[in-house]
Amino acid sequence: MERATADQLEALHPDAFGWALHCCAGDHARAEDVLQNAYLKLAQQRTLHDGRSSFKTWWFGVIRLTAYEEFRRLRYRESLLGRLLLHFGAAEQDPSPSPARKMELDERTAELRRCLAQLPARQAEVLHLVFYQDLTLNEAAEVLRVSLGSVRQHYERGKARLRSLLQPDPIHET
């Protein structure tokens, strides 16, 4: 990174954090993450100022787009988690569950882990990268060094298999 760019970033940092805070609806932790990711994009040269606008305008646009990407990732992850919790009937989460509720949640977590362990290795790897590591399918393909089509196939098959494993067994229910 050039010294002039570093100086501009340093001078804009307080304003950039304020903008990131605004883009994250006042959530300080998310704003810190967004700003750090924006700096990372710049350091890795995934984004470059082309001079079509002022540096500040461009930088604030990078921050806004980074915040939007983080929001989409978070919303996607929460929606998947929400559907899984709804499947288990745990949509309402008490911050301090009763001992009986905690035991029930622990049993459900153990059941989910047991089902994940039954998946083929590649399907489990793809689901882990996407759900737990917040990677896109493209990023998961890069990590696993396989084609995007292969990752998509493992992802869909893994979700379908996990769904079937999590379905209650009607024979053993009473």
For residue range 151-174, what is the model confidence (pLDDT) as tens digits? Answer: 999 999 999 998 898 887 666 554
Q: 12 vs 86, which has greater pLDDT? A: 12
Instruction: Let me know the angle formed at the C-alpha of 82 by 80 and 83, rounded to the nearest 5 degrees.
Output: 65
Domains of the chain: 3-74 (1.10.1740), 95-166 (1.10.10.10)
For residues 38 and 32, what is the distance between their CA atoms, to the nearest angstrom? 10
For residue range 131-151, what is the model confidence (pLDDT) as tens digits?
776 778 988 888 788 999 999
pTM, to two decimals = 0.47
Q: Is the pLDDT of residue 71 over 80?
A: yes
Q: How far apart are CA 55 and CA 8, in angstroms?
A: 8
